[in-house]
């Protein structure tokens, strides 16, 4: 793991640290064509070397979310548009289990746009 990426994950307090590490594993294990890098000081995940998803945090709550770069093209109940034009997010509650089934469904839908 790159030092900047490692710092991003391991610099957080629990339960956020465990949550985003589990989210990272889920993303990377979902497809062999997904790779990880750092852009804009946050983990970015590439699918076929194109921006696919990223992890970031809500300003008010501090809770993590998963941004889906092709989210605006996807209709799924777990996705939240907010005031974004092209990206939709999956809010993550670090005190609950990850919504693995729903995240996996969104990934499969997103891959159709690459």
- Provide the whole-model pTM: 0.93
List the structure tokens of 30: 């979902």
- CB count in 10 Å sphere of residue 72: 15
CATH of residue 10's domain is 3.90.1150.200
Q: How far, CA to CA in Å, does 17 sit from each of 6, 12, 76, 107, 109? A: 11, 5, 27, 22, 27
> What is the total count of domains within the chain?
1
Alpha-carbon gap, residue 104 to 36, rounded angstroms: 17
64 φ, ψ to 5°?
A: -75, 160
pLDDT digit string, tens, across residues 29-80: 999 999 999 998 889 999 999 999 999 999 999 999 999 999 999 999 999 9
Domain of residue 77 covers 3-111
- CB count in 10 Å sphere of residue 92: 22
């Amino acid at each position: 793991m790159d030092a900047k990426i490692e710092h991003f994950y391991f610099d957080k307090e629990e339960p956020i640290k465990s949550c985003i590490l589990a989210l990272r594993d889920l993303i990377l294990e979902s497809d062999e064509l997904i790779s990880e890098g750092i852009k804009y000081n946050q983990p970015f995940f590439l699918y076929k070397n194109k921006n696919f998803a990223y992890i970031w945090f809500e300003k008010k709550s501090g809770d993590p979310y998963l941004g889906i770069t092709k989210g605006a093209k996807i209709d799924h109940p777990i996705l939240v548009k907010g005031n974004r034009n092209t990206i939709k997010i999956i809010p993550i509650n670090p005190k609950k289990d990850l919504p693995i089934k729903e995240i996996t469904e969104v990934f499969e839908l997103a891959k159709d746009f690459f």
